[in-house]
Amino acid sequence: MIRFWFKTFFELPQLQGYEYIMRLDDDSELKGKWINVFEEMRNKKAVYFANNLDIDLEKILPGTMVLKNVIFEYVKNNNNITAKQPEMLRDAFTSDSVHNYYNNFEVTNTEFFRRADISHWVQAVDSTHGIFKYRWGDAILRYLTVALFAEQQYVLHRRNYNMSYCHKC
C-alpha cells in the first residue's frame, strides 16, 4: 500500500478528471462540524491538506534514516531543485527519527502531485527500493515531497481549522 499511495495512485488514469482527492482510511472518522475542505483548498490554491505531525523511529523501522541521505543526495544532484520549505526539510530528520504527516486523512491536489518534477522525485525514490527494503512509509514520503515542492502558504493543516478527527475510535 505504501508504493500505491506514494506513486501508483497519482498515475491512475481514472483520477484524471479530479482536482482534489481525499484519503480517509476506513479506521478513521471525521467528528463534529467540518468545513468543505475542497472549497477551502480551491479558495487558498492549496496543494495539500495535512493531518497531524507524527514521527517514525529508526529503532522501530531500521533503515528509516537511510532516507535522509537519499533526499539530500537527490537535491544535491538535481540543480533545478530548491526546497520550497527548507526549514521543514532540514527539521524533518533528527538523529533517530523522521517527521511525517499522519496521512490516514489527507487531501491532495492531483495536478500538483502529477507535476513532472514531483514525478521525477517519486521515480528516484522508487528506484532505490527503500519502500520495500526499509518500509519507508507513504506518510514520510508525502511529508518530504511537500517540504521539497510545496510552498508553505499552499499547505493547509487540519489542526488550524479546529476540525475534530479520530483514528481507530
Rg, Å, the chain Cα set:
16
- For position 96, what pLDDT does the model report? 95
| Amino acid code (one letter) for 23 | R
CA angle 58, 149, 124 (to 5 degrees): 60
- For position 49, what pLDDT does the model report? 98
- Interatomic CA distance for residues 133 and 135, integer angstroms: 6
Burial of residue 16 (number of CB atoms within 10 Å: 0-12, 13-18, 19+): exposed
Per-residue pLDDT in tens (0 to 9) along the chain, 169 residues: 899 999 999 999 999 899 999 999 999 989 999 999 999 999 999 999 999 999 999 999 999 999 999 999 999 998 778 999 999 999 999 999 999 999 999 999 999 999 999 999 999 999 999 999 999 999 999 999 999 999 999 999 999 999 998 888 8
Domains of the chain listed by start with CATH number: 2-167 (3.90.550.10)
- For position 168, what pLDDT does the model report? 86
Total-model pTM = 0.94
- For position 16, what pLDDT does the model report? 87
- Interatomic CA distance for residues 163 and 33, integer angstroms: 7
Please choose, from the candidates 57, 60, 44, 54, the residue with its C-alpha nearest in 3D space to the C-alpha of residue 142.
Answer: 54
- Interatomic CA distance for residues 76 and 7, integer angstroms: 22
- For position 154, what pLDDT does the model report? 98
Please choose, from the candidates 134, 153, 132, 131, the residue with its C-alpha nearest in 3D space to the C-alpha of residue 142.
Answer: 131
- Interatomic CA distance for residues 41 and 19, integer angstroms: 10
- For position 110, what pLDDT does the model report? 96
| Amino acid code (one letter) for 96 | D
In the chain, where does DSSP find H-type helix?
2-3, 9-11, 37-44, 66-77, 86-91, 110-113, 116-128, 130-133, 138-149
- For position 53, what pLDDT does the model report? 94
Q: 16: Cβ–Cβ under 8 A, 6 or more apart, which residues?
A: none
